Amino acid sequence: MPYCVNCGVKLDDFTPKCPLCMTDVFRPQVEEKTSVDSPFPIKTDIPEQKKRKYTSVIISVLLLLPSVVSLVVNYLLSPQTPWSAYVVSTSILLWVLFALPFMFKKIRPYLLIVLDATAIAAYASVFFVLVHSGEWFLKIFIPLDILSLATGLFLAGFFKSKKHSKLHSLMAIFGTITAFSGITELILLFTSHNIIFDCISISIAVTSFILFMLLAIADKNKHFKIWLTKNFYL
């Protein structure tokens, strides 16, 4: 028979608290009742492929709703102005960029890059057709879109070919940015006379080229390479 550890009152075997001083009764000789396992798992493990499918469905529904609403409102209130085309084209572009990758069982970088470039070109063509804002689409946008496609395919092939060190990966990225910015500058030089765009592309090209050269020197200089590895984990 237990006793209260605080006041010494004799207690019953199953009294949870002392009736006199309300102190909790401690019985070290009585084993605590173990919890019964639930017949159903508390957390359900969803396969990765199912997660990807659910994600693509959710994104698709979220992008479909504003498109349908804008089409209905456009048809009922202002059928003369096809402003809903902007909403629908934006939804399609976002779907290709963010929902379509989840529908593949295995990531296909080359196919996704081609689809992304095509979707972006189609998106820009909507503005070109509806706005009629000059020849920027054919002279500037299409060449830049093709250049972006080639750049993305090159980087995808570079990183997929074999495992590279962080230093070589950064060299490839900055080198690609240098080439991309330089070619962009040539395109703008022959098609546009906007000094702001020229300054931006030149600044990016020069900055990325300097970083590329520093990394190239570090790759050849053993002591410099060790210093970068220790301080920046390259």
Q: How many domains does the chain have?
A: 2
- Is residue 128 in some structural domain? no
pLDDT (0 to 100) of residue 93: 93
Alpha-carbon span 215 to 43, nearest angstrom: 47
Tens digit of pLDDT at every position of the chain (234 positions)? 677 777 777 777 777 787 777 788 766 655 444 445 555 555 666 777 888 888 999 999 999 999 999 999 999 998 888 889 999 999 999 999 999 998 888 888 899 999 999 999 999 888 888 876 667 788 888 899 999 999 999 999 998 877 888 888 899 999 999 999 999 888 888 877 666 666 778 888 899 999 999 888 888 887 777 776 666 665
Q: Which domain holds residue 27?
A: 1-31
pLDDT in the model for residue 193: 65
The C-alpha atoms of residue 107 and residue 92 are separated, in whole angstroms, by 20
Give domain status of residue 100, yes or no. yes
Look at residue 33 in the predicted model and tell me its pLDDT: 47
pLDDT value of position 161:
79
Q: For residue 153, how many other CB atoms are within 10 A of its CB?
A: 15
- Alpha helix segments (H runs only) across 4-108: 48-77, 84-94
pLDDT at site 199? 75
Q: CA dist 130 to 81, 124, 134, Å?
A: 10, 10, 11
d(CA 44, CA 53): 16
Other C-beta atoms lying within 10 Å of the C-beta of residue 78: 11
Q: Let me know: does 18 contact 9? Beta carbons within 8 Å.
A: yes
- Whether 92 is covered by a domain: the verdict is yes
Residue that terminates a domain, selected from 107, 130, 151: 107
Separation between Cα atoms, residue 140 and residue 176, nearest integer Å: 20
Residue 189 domain-assigned (yes or no) = no
Q: Is 180:147 a contact under the CB 8 Å cutoff?
A: yes
Q: What pLDDT score does 119 carry?
A: 93
* 186 located within any domain: no
